[in-house]
Amino acid sequence: MVLENLQASAAAVAAELGLLNKPLTGKELEKFNRAFERSLVLAYPEREIRDAYLRHQGEILLGAMVAKEQMDAEVDGEQPSAGKIGGPIPIRACFVGVGDDWEDLGSFTTGSPQNWIHSGTTLLGGTSGNPIRVGDNAVIVVIGIRSRHPSPKVESVKFEIDGKEKPVLVTAFAQKATANPSGLMFKEFDYGQVWKKDTEVLGKIFATAAYGSTVTDYLELIGAAFIMEPQLRVHDAYDLAGTSAKRDVHKVVRTT
């Protein structure tokens, strides 16, 4: 009953935002809940991230409803059957074109905003500074950002969604690390961002030149992804999105 009530609330939000969606059946809700607990909540030992997932469960459920409508298939958990939608699962770096893993974009120039999520990564090979475009076979719900670096340096992050600039998010990871070396470097969003088919996303970071001309930091999107089963069988990030032909075939992430 809890998930059914949550789904009703998610449907109301979808109507307000103009998001096309289909409600999940009882069977789908059961598989959603199992994957949500196992692949997201229990996958992270940090209490802060676990709690954030629980706070944003409704938005992640909304992502599942949007994915069902967009892909016209059943939502089938972490290990979906053929032709069904996998999810909710963690967001792989290759789903947004960053690289093999989040560590692939570790070096950034300091003193000015630098590209993080964009078409010009080594994996995507598009135009630097252009946004990525979410493909037909993906819906991504982002609830926050974390740094996986032992000595993080990113001071802030800024997104541009569908050409609209969003407010700067002050992460202050370096300051937090100095004040509390054992603390978790995690910035939770006020509300989850649902990136569906054709959503264009540009993410930039800023780090002060006080640390030198370049810094190393490993930023990761925290949230959930919903991906069609054939694409979830692709293991190598390069085979999923590494060339124009591959990214056009798999339709998970594209350049602009």
Question: Do residues 115 and 237 make contact, with C-beta atoms less than 8 angstroms apart?
Answer: no
Residue 13's pLDDT is: 92
Whole-angstrom distance, CA of residue 169 vs CA of residue 61: 24
State the CB neighbour count (10 A cutoff) for residue 235.
7
pLDDT recorded at residue 94? 97
Stretches where the chain sits below pLDDT 70 are 1, 174-183
For residues 145 and 126, give the distance between their C-alpha atoms in angstroms, rounded to a whole number. Answer: 24
- Taking alpha carbons only, the member of 211, 225, 254 closest to residue 117 is 254
* E strand or H helix that includes residue 52: helix 47-55
pLDDT at 2: 86
User: What is the sign of the dihedral through the CA atoms of 95, 223, 158 and 102?
Assistant: negative
pLDDT at 178: 57
- pLDDT tens for each residue of 76-132: 999 999 999 999 999 999 999 999 999 998 799 999 999 999 999 999 999 999 999
Domain boundaries, the chain: 2-255
**According to the model, what pLDDT value does residue 245 have?**
87
- Residue 147, pLDDT score: 92
**CA torsion sign, 19 to 76 to 47 to 221?**
negative
Q: Which helix (H) or strand (E) holds 249?
A: helix 244-250
Helices 57-71 & 47-55 angle (0-180, nearest 10):
60
Helix (H, G, I), strand (E, B) or coil at 169: strand
- Phi-psi region for residue 41, left (φ > 0), alpha (ψ -120 to 50) or beta? alpha
What angle, 0 to 180 degrees and rounded to 10, lies between the N-to-C axes of helices 26-35 and 2-17?
90
**What pLDDT is attached to residue 47?**
87
User: What is the model's pLDDT at position 173?
Assistant: 73
> What is the CB-side half-sphere exposure of residue 18 using CA atoms within 13 A?
0
Alpha-carbon distances of 210 from 10, 109, 112, 129, 158, rounded to whole Å: 44, 11, 12, 24, 20
pLDDT at 180: 55
What does the alpha-carbon distance between residue 106 and residue 20 come to, in Å, rounded to a whole number?
36
